[in-house]
Structure 1
Amino acid sequence: MRLEPLASDDPRDVLRALRGAVLGAGPAIALGEAPALPDEVPAGTAVVLTTSGSTGVPKSVVLSRSALTSSALATAARIGEGHWLLSLSGGYVAGVQVMVRALVAGRDPAILAGRFTPRAFAHAVSGMHSMAGGERVPTYTSLVPAQLQTLLDAADDPDVLRALRSFETILIGGQALPVPVRERAAELGVRIVRTYGSTETSGGCVYDGVPLDGVRVEAAGGELRIAGPNLADGYLGDPDRTAQTFVTDPAGVRWYRTGDAGTVTDGVVAVTGRIDNVIISGGVNVSLDRVERVVQSVPGLEVAVVVGAPHERWGQTPVIALAGSADAALLAAARAAVEAELGKPARPDRIVPLATVPRLASGKPDRRAITALVTRG
C-alpha cells in the first residue's frame, strides 16, 4: 500500500486524508515529523504516526484500519455513540482517534480550529446541534488535563460551564489527572472519564481503570502489558524495537509492553508511573511519577510538574516546576505530604517558578525541556 506524508496539520486536512485511509482504499497517511519513510507500507495500514513523546527518540508507529476501527467501536460500546468535538491536535493519536470515532459513526466531528481558549471551546460547542429522530444527539469530546484545568478555571463564565456540562462524556487522557481537578469537575457537574493508552494501542483503551471490551491488561514483573485487536502492527523500519516492545507469549497472545509500572486487581488497572522515570536520591530509588501525584494533591499545586535535578549532597532530588510564583508555605506543604506517603528521600527540594510550563503538541508536559530549565536554575 502507498504511504503518503501529510504536510498539513490542519485538522480538516487530516480528517479528509483519514476518510480515505480508514474508510476508503487509501493511501495510508504519515503524520508527525518523521525521518525519511518508505513509499510502501503493509496492506491494511491506515496511519503511520511518528512521535517522540517525552523520550526524544522518534518512533513511527504503524496503525492498521482494523486496529483504529476496533478501538473506535469499543469506545462507542462503552460510552455511547454521538457527535464528537475535536479539541486536540490532529497529529497525535488522541486527535486521530476522535476523528476515527466520528467517521465510523458516520458523522463528521465539529472542529475547534486555532488556539484553544475557553471562549473558543464554548463557541465550538454552541454549534453542535445534531438531531436524530427528533431528539438531540449526545455529544462527546476528548481533552488533556491541562485543557480541562483551563476550562474549569474559566467556569465562572456561564457559557463555558454550559459547554462543559453539555457533553455526555469528556474523555481525559495523555497524562495522569490530578485528584483535585477530577473532584472539581464532579462538583461542577462535568462528566469525565479517565483514559489510559498510547499510540501503540490506538489511543485510550482503559476507561476509569477498566479495559475496553476485547482488551486485556496484565502486570508482568510489575510492568503493565496490553493485548487486543487495537494494537499497532509495530514500528516502521525498526524490527528490533518492534520485537522488544511487542512480544508473543507461549499461548500465542501478542502483547504490547507499555513501560509503565502498575497493577491489575480484580480487573481494575492502576498505573503507578513510568518504569524509567526514577531517580536515585541519597542511594534510594524515587519514582518521580509517584511524587508528582502526591504533590498535585496539595491545593495550589494541582498542575505542577515534578522532575529530577542534580543535588550536591544527594546526587539527585525531585524538584517542582510551576507556572507562576510559589511561597515557602506551599513547598512546606508539598514536602510534608510527600514525606507522609513516600518517605523523606522523596521530598521535593524546591519549587522552580516558570513563566509557562513547556508542553508537547500533544498537551503533555515537555519533561526534557522542563528539566533543562530547572537544571539551569
Structure 2
Amino acid sequence: MRRYRARWLFPGDGPPILNATIEVRDNDIISLSIDDSDAVDLGNVALIPGLINAHTHLEFSTIPAPLQPLRDFTSWIPSVISWRQEHPDGISSAIRKGLDESISYGVTTAAEIATTDWRSDSEASSTPLNVLMFREYLGLSDEAVDFQLSSAREFLEQPGSEQVKIGLSPHSPYSLHPDLFEGLCELAEQHQVPLAMHLAESPEELELLETGGGKLAAMLQQLGVARPELFKESRRPLDYLHRLDCGVPVLVVHGNYLGQREIEFLKTRPNMSVVYCPRTHAAMQSAEHPWKELLEVGINVALGTDSRASNPDLFIWKELQFLHKRHEGIPASELLKLATINGADALQLGRVGLLKQGHIADLCVVSLQGASIENPESGLFDSQNQPAGVMKHGEWVVTPQALKILEQ
C-alpha cells in the first residue's frame, strides 16, 4: 500500500478536501483521510481524477496547426480530406503521438473516433490509456452500404479488451446513406456497443436536413458524392436522435445547434450524452454552445478536444482552462465534473472519474501556484497551474516532481 498527501484533493463530485491523503493498493483506491503525517507529501498540488477526453480523432495528431479555414465549415471539410489523402501512411505514428500527448497532460481515458482498427498495432495498443474505440463509417452511395456494414460486422466480431473497448460511429447526417445509418444502429443494438455521432454541428448541416440544399449540398456536389434524392425529405437532428436511441450509450458529438425539441428529447434519455468541444466550437462557430442549458435540465455533458485538425492540441486540461477563463463564476469542482465523472457517465465506465474508496486509482497531480494554493475552487484552472503527474491503475506513468526528488 502507498499513501500520498496533497494540499488539496478534488474527489470529482464535490468541493476540494484540504490536506488529504489517498491510499492506493494495486489498482484501487483503498481510502481517503486527512492530515496523515506518515504519507508521502506531494507538496502544493491538487489531486484530481484522471481526465476523460470524450471525443477525439487521434489519426490527425501530427497536424502541426489547425487546418483552415476554420470559420467556413464547407471549405474546412475538404481541407481535412486533402490532408488525409496527402498523408496516407502516417496514421499509426499519429495515433501513437496522440496517445502519448494525451496521457502526458492528465488524460487517462479517451473516446477515439477511428477510421482504422489499430488494435493490432502493438505500440499503440500498449498505451496505458483506457480507450473506447468508436469505428467510424460513412458513405452516401448504394455500394457503400453493404461494404461498410460488412466492415462493421468484422470489427464487432473481434471483441474489445479491458483496455480498448469498442463502439460504432455513424459519422454525420450529411455523410450517411439512410440504410447505412439504420444498419449501424441495428448492429449497435444487437451487439450492445455504444454509438457516437457528429450531430447538430453546423448551420449548414441544419440547412441541408431542412431544405436539401445550401453550402453542404454544394460541397457534396463538388466532391462528386452528392445524392440529392437522399435529402428530399425535410428532417431535423431530432429524427436522428430517435433512431440512435436504441438501448445503448450514445454520444451526441458537438451538439452546437441543438434546438428546444432536441433538448426536450435528450433530457428524458439518461443513456444519451452531449460531448462539447469548447476550443473547437469557439474557433469554428459563432453561436454560443448550449452546454449550460443542457446541464440545467439534467442532460449529461462531457468534454472532448476533437482533433488537431480543429484544435492546437489534445489537452483536456486546456479545455477546462478555456472554460474557466470565460466563466469565472463557476467553481472549479463543477467544471472538473465535465472532464471526469460526466465523461465516465457518458461512456458508462465503472469505477473511474472519481477519487473515492473502491474506485480505480486513475488520477492527475496538478501543480498549484500563487493564490490557488489557498483557494483552488477559484484558482485551480489558473494559467500557471499545469498537470505534473499522472497515475494510471495505481502506477505512476508521469512521475510528480516530489517523488523524483525523493528518488534521487
TM-score (norm. length: structure 1): 0.29
Q: Structure 1 or 2: larger strand share?
A: 1
TM-score (norm. length: structure 2): 0.28
